[in-house]
Amino acid sequence: MRFNNSLLLLASFSTAIAFRRSCRPDNTNAVTGAGFYTMAEGDTWLNIAADFCTTLPELQRMNPSNPSKPGDIFRLACKSRKRDCARVPGYEAGYYTIAEGDELSLIAQDFCTDANVLVGGNIGVDLTKPLVPGTTIYVPCNWN
């Protein structure tokens, strides 16, 4: 993943916000981090897995009943994420604008990657120094 100024320019003309799916924590069980997601129109197993930072085989393992239509409930790892990306149509990536108080490791977690991938994918942006609010960076954004 490399930062591409052409991609950023394209993004400014034709972005689609990739709204994150949210889950409901499972408070009835001793397993921490588990929760539920209700399938919506247009959802696919791959999109759901990507949005919740898991793999298709893991999602299938957690859902042997095979939910497949809007209103069906998925069991999955449930972690709240506060960041979202502006996805570039036709790409599995988009951009995120750094906010006050952001840390690279937390940004990476929200986008299902690690800090080294973000550093390597943003050529021309020095993410090894303190983050500057307002800086736009390239991030994975493949869940919608």
Whether 18 shows a pLDDT value over 60: the answer reads no
The pLDDT of residue 88 is 78
Q: Which residue has the higher pLDDT, 122 or 10?
A: 122
- Show the domains of the chain with their CATH numbers: 5-18+82-140 (3.10.350.10), 24-77 (3.10.350.10)
Which three-class secondary structure string do you get for 44-106? CHHHHHHHCCCCHHHHHHHCCCCCCCCCCEEEEECCCCCCCEEECCCCCEEEEECCCCCCHHH
pLDDT tens-digit map of 48-92: 888 888 889 999 999 999 888 999 999 988 876 678 788 778 887
The pLDDT of residue 71 is 95
Residues with Cβ within 8 Å of residue 48, at least 6 apart in sequence = 21, 37, 39, 59, 74, 76, 143
Whether 7 shows a pLDDT value over 60: the answer reads no
The amino acid at 126: D
- Find, among 66, 65, 96, the residue nearest to 83 by Cα: 96
pLDDT tens-digit map of 88-120: 788 878 899 999 999 999 999 888 889 999 999
